[in-house]
C-alpha cells in the first residue's frame, strides 16, 4: 500500500473530460502533493490515507469561469433591464466611481468566491479594479484566479490613466504570481482603449507571458463605434494593429462577421461565451456553432453578477446548449459533452493552462467537483453528461476540491462563513442605497 493525501472512493461516474472523454464507473481517484496520482477501479486497494466515500456522486473536473467581474456581486441586479451602454454609463460607472475601493473589491470578491466555490468553479478569470484585494481573498480561500486589472483610456477607480493601470499590472505580476494567482492584463475593450494602449498591453502580455483579457464585439453599438473610429470591424481593427494572437481571451464575441471568425481561428484567439449576460443586456447571441466549426476555442463565462445575475456556471452551460439548439433549429448542436467541455478542457485552453487543469488525468492538479446524483430531479440517470447539463444546477454540487484540498463538503463552503457573506451584502446595500 502507498500513501496518498486524499482518496475518493466508489465514485459512481468519473467524467474525465480528457482527449478521449474517458469515463469510469464505480471507481476511485487518489491524490498526492496537490495532484491526481491514480484513477480507476480498485485504486482504493492500492492507497491508504484520508478517504471520502463518493457513492452516488459524479466526478467532473473543476469548472472554469473564463470571464467575470467578481466584486460586482455588490452590484447584483443594479441598473437591471437596460442595454449595455445605458447600464454602464448611467448606472454602473457612476456607482463604481463613488464606491469602488480596496475594501469594496475585497468584500465583493468574498461573496463571489463563496458563490463560485458553491457552484463548482475552481478557476475564474477576473477583470476589475484593485486586483490586489481579489488576490488577498483567493489566497486565503484557495481558489485559482487569473486576475487582470481593467485598463481604460479614462480615469478608473484604480488608476487615473491607462499607463498607471499598466504599471499597476506589472507590479501586480511581480508581487502576486503564485499557487492561486495567475496575473493577466485587462484592456477593457477596443472602444474604450486606444490602439496605443492596446499595443502597450500586448507588449506587457508578451514580456511576462500572460493572458490578454479583453471584451470584444459585445454589442452592435461597439461594432458601429469601432467602425466609425477606425473604419474596421472590432476584430479586423485589433488584427490590423497587431494585438491578436493565442494569448488573447476575448469575452462575449457576439457580433463577429464570417471574416472575423476566420481571423480569430487563424490567430488562435480564445473566446469566453457569456450567454446569460448577453441575453439579459439584450446584446444578442454569439455565433458559437460557427466559431466552433472554424476551430475557435470557445469557453464559458458568467460575466459579472450585475448582468447575469448569478455565478452558477452549470446553469450557464445549460443556457448555452439550449440557446444554440434553438437559434440554429438543430438539436445536435452543442451536445451535452461539448457543452460540458466548454467549462472544463476548453476553459483550460482559454486560460493557457491545459497542461495543469481542465480534465481529470494523472499528473494534473487535483481540481475536482462531485455532483450529488442521488436526488429525484437527477433520476433516472441514463446519461450523466445530459443530467449535469440539462437537469442539474450549481446547487447540486456537493464537494469541491482545489489542488487536493477540500473547499466544499456536503454543500458547505469551508473557507468562508455564510453569515459573514450575508452581513457584507447587507452592509453594502445600505451604503449604496443611502448614498
Ligand X SMILES: CSC[C@H]1O[C@@H](n2cnc3c(O)ncnc32)[C@H](O)[C@@H]1O
Neighbouring C-beta atoms of residue 26, cutoff 10 Å: 14
Q: What minimum distance in Å lies between the beta carbon of 252 and Zn ion?
A: 7
- Ligand-binding site membership of 41 (annotated): no
- Ligand-binding site membership of 215 (annotated): yes
C-beta of 107 vs 303, nearer to Zn ion: 303
Q: What minimum distance in Å lies between the beta carbon of 303 and Zn ion?
A: 5
Q: What minimum distance in Å lies between the beta carbon of 333 and ligand X?
A: 24
- Ligand-binding site membership of 140 (annotated): no
8 A C-beta contact, residue 366 and residue 23: no
Q: What minimum distance in Å lies between the beta carbon of 422 and ligand X?
A: 23
Label residues 142-151 b or e (16+ Cβ within 10 Å = b): bbbbbbbbbb
DSSP 249-264: EEEE--S--HHHHHHH
C-beta of 115 vs 372, nearer to ligand X: 115
Lookup: cell for 59: 466526478
277 sits near ligand X (criterion: CB under 6 A): yes
C-beta of 38 vs 84, nearer to ligand X: 84
66 sits near ligand X (criterion: CB under 6 A): no
Lookup: cell for 56: 452516488
C-beta of 47 vs 128, nearer to ligand X: 128
Report strand pairing: 2-15 vs 47-53: parallel
- Ligand-binding site membership of 303 (annotated): yes
Q: How far is Cα of residue 198 from the mean position of the Cα atoms in its chain?
A: 22
Instruction: Say which entry of Zn ion, ligand X, none residue 307 contacts (CB below 5 to 8 A, set by partner kind).
Output: ligand X
Label residues 301-323 b or e (16+ Cβ within 10 Å = b): bbbbbbbbbbbbbbbbbbbbbbb
- Ligand-binding site membership of 324 (annotated): no
Q: What minimum distance in Å lies between the beta carbon of 154 and Zn ion?
A: 17
C-beta of 189 vs 408, nearer to ligand X: 189
Site residues (CB under 6 A) for ligand X, limited to 204-223: 215, 218
8 A C-beta contact, residue 193 and residue 258: no
Q: Which residues contact 376 (CB under 8 A, 6 or more apart)?
A: none
Report strand pairing: 121-128 vs 405-409: unpaired
C-beta of 65 vs 233, nearer to Zn ion: 65
Lookup: cell for 160: 487615473
276 sits near ligand X (criterion: CB under 6 A): no
Identified binder of ligand X from the candidate list 152, 184, 202, 286, rule CB under 6 A: 152
Number of chain positions touching ligand X (CB under 6 A): 16
C-beta of 13 vs 128, nearer to Zn ion: 128
Stretch that binds ligand X, among 13-21, 301-309, 319-327, 369-377 (CB under 6 A): 301-309
8 A C-beta contact, residue 189 and residue 218: yes
Q: What minimum distance in Å lies between the beta carbon of 88 and ligand X?
A: 6
8 A C-beta contact, residue 336 and residue 386: yes
Outline where DSSP puts E strands in 246-388.
248-252, 270-273, 297-300, 368-372
Identified binder of ligand X from the candidate list 188, 255, 345, 407, rule CB under 6 A: 188
Neighbouring C-beta atoms of residue 41, cutoff 10 Å: 11
- Ligand-binding site membership of 377 (annotated): no
127 sits near ligand X (criterion: CB under 6 A): yes
- Ligand-binding site membership of 67 (annotated): yes
Adjacency order of strands within the sheet including 270-273: 63-68, 121-128, 144-151, 181-187, 211-216, 248-252, 270-273, 297-300
Lookup: cell for 94: 457612476
**CA dist 419 to 310, 397, 422, 423, 425, Å?**
19, 20, 5, 6, 10
8 A C-beta contact, residue 65 and residue 300: yes
Stretch that binds Zn ion, among 36-44, 109-117, 262-270, 295-303 (CB under 5 A): 295-303
404 sits near ligand X (criterion: CB under 6 A): no
Identified binder of ligand X from the candidate list 78, 128, 172, 176, rule CB under 6 A: 128
Stretch that binds ligand X, among 42-50, 229-237, 299-307, 322-330 (CB under 6 A): 299-307
8 A C-beta contact, residue 117 and residue 316: no
DSSP letter at 376?
G
Binding mask 82-121 for ligand X (x = CB under 6 A): --x---x---x---x-------------------------
Which residue in 19, 59, 63 sits closest to 318, CA to CA?
Answer: 63
C-beta of 127 vs 181, nearer to ligand X: 127
Could you list the residues known to form a binding site for substrate, using ranges. 96, 188, 218, 303
Could you list the residues known to form a binding site, using ranges. 67, 69, 96, 188, 215, 218, 303
Binding site for ligand X (CB under 6 A): 69, 84, 88, 92, 96, 127-128, 150, 152, 188, 215, 218, 277, 303-304, 307
Binding site for Zn ion (CB under 5 A): 303
Amino acid at each position: 500500500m502507498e500513501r496518498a493525501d486524499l482518496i475518493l472512493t466508489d465514485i459512481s461516474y468519473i467524467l474525465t473530460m480528457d482527449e478521449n472523454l474517458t469515463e469510469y464507473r464505480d471507481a476511485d481517484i487518489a491524490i498526492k502533493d496537490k495532484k491526481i496520482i491514480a484513477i480507476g477501479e480498485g485504486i482504493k486497494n492500492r492507497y491508504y490515507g484520508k478517504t471520502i466515500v463518493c457513492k452516488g456522486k459524479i466526478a467532473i473536473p473543476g469548472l472554469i469561469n473564463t470571464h467575470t467581474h467578481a466584486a460586482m456581486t455588490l452590484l447584483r441586479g443594479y441598473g437591471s433591464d437596460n442595454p449595455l451602454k445605458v447600464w454602464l454609463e448611467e448606472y454602473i460607472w457612476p456607482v463604481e466611481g463613488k464606491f469602488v475601493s480596496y475594501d469594496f473589491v475585497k468584500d465583493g470578491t468574498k461573496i463571489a468566491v463563496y458563490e463560485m466555490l458553491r457552484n463548482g468553479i475552481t478557476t475564474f478569470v477576473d477583470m476589475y479594479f484593485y486586483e490586489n484585494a481579489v488576490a488577498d481573498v483567493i489566497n486565503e480561500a484557495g481558489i485559482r484566479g487569473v486576475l487582470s486589472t481593467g485598463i481604460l483610456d479614462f480615469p478608473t477607480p484604480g488608476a487615473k490613466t491607462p499607463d498607471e493601470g499598466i504599471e499597476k499590472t506589472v507590479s501586480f505580476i511581480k508581487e502576486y504570481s503564485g499557487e492561486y494567482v495567475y496575473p493577466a492584463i485587462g484592456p477593457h475593450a477596443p472602444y474604450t482603449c486606444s490602439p496605443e494602449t492596446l499595443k502597450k498591453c500586448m507588449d506587457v502580455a508578451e514580456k511576462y507571458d500572460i493572458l490578454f483579457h479583453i471584451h470584444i464585439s459585445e454589442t452592435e453599438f461597439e461594432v458601429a463605434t469601432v467602425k466609425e473610429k477606425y473604419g474596421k470591424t472590432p476584430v479586423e481593427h485589433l488584427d490590423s494593429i497587431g494585438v491578436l494572437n493565442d494569448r488573447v481571451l476575448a469575452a462575449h464575441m457576439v457580433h463577429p462577421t464570417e471574416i472575423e471568425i476566420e481571423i480569430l481561428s487563424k490567430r488562435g484567439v480564445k473566446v469566453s461565451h457569456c450567454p446569460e449576460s448577453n441575453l439579459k443586456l439584450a446584446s444578442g447571441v454569439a455565433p458559437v456553432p460557427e466559431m466552433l466549426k472554424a476551430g475557435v476555442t470557445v469557453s464559458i463565462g458568467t460575466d459579472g453578477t450585475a448582468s447575469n445575475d448569478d455565478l452558477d456556471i452549470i446553469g450557464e452551460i445549460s443556457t448555452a446548449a439550449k440557446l444554440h439548439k434553438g437559434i440554429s433549429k438543430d438539436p445536435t448542436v452543442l451536445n451535452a459533452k461539448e457543452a460540458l467541455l466548454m467549462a472544463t478542457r476548453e476553459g483550460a485552453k482559454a486560460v493557457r493552462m491545459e497542461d495543469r487543469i481542465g480534465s481529470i488525468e494523472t499528473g494534473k492538479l487535483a481540481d475536482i467537483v462531485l455532483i450529488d446524483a442521488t436526488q429525484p430531479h437527477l433520476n433516472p440517470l441514463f446519461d450523466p453528461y445530459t443530467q449535469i447539463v440539462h437537469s442539474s444546477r450549481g446547487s447540486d454540487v456537493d464537494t469541491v476540491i482545489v489542488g487536493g484540498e477540500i473547499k466544499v463538503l456536503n454543500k458547505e463552503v469551508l473557507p468562508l462563513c455564510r453569515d459573514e457573506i450575508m452581513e457584507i451584502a447587507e452592509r453594502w446595500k445600505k451604503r449604496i442605497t443611502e448614498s
